[in-house]
Amino acid sequence: MISQPTRQCAVELQALPPRIGQVRRIVSAQLRYWHLDPLVDRAALGVTELLTNVHRHAGPDKRCTVRLELLLDRLTVSVRDHDPRLPVVRDATSDATCGRGLALVAAVSECWGVRPWETSGKVVWFTLPAPRPAPAGPGGAALYGATTPGPFPEAALDSALPGLAAGPSTPARSAFVG
């Protein structure tokens, strides 16, 4: 019997600069709603880098889906786009203004990877270790992370974010393909 259900959130968007900032704020708010405040900065940085890669490299179709999935003690953040080309990790020079996105994702995550998606497209993902859920709160629901309320009441987050629904471990800097 699984006592801690999976929690999921998905956001579809066009990876344009104003949207990337909005999704970063949505991801941060969702993680706070799940009481995963310690993961906010790393998840926001990782999703920003992945969305920036979609914006820069995914051709004319910038449509993508950001997905958060919390299962037991692991948060997986993924970005699915419609470009079948797999990302390439580059060694950026010290004066380069780009080329560090995947290295940053690797640095802040437990592990990351990429896999083809359907007939065209890919999913780039990374995982973060999540704190174990706290004992069940009112109504019997398990609380994740901190048991004290965050800066926003949950009801306010529900109204601010309508439509949001509630892999193996390896060292950082590793990637899985497939």
Residue with tokens 């990429």: 114
Would you list the DSSP string of 160-172? HSTT--------T
pTM of the model: 0.72
Domain 7-177, CATH homologous superfamily name and number: Histidine kinase-like ATPase, C-terminal domain (3.30.565.10)
Single out the residue of 137, 145, 107, 162 nearest to residue 31, CA to CA: 145
User: How many Å apart are CA 136 and CA 142, to the nearest integer?
Assistant: 4
Q: What is the pLDDT along the chain (178 residues), one digit of tens a residue?
A: 555 568 999 999 999 999 999 999 999 999 999 999 999 999 999 999 999 999 998 878 899 999 999 998 999 999 999 999 888 777 766 665 666 789 899 999 999 999 999 888 999 999 999 987 665 556 655 555 543 333 434 443 444 444 433 333 333 444 544 4
Residue with tokens 């065209």: 120
Contact predicate 64/51, CB 8 Å: yes
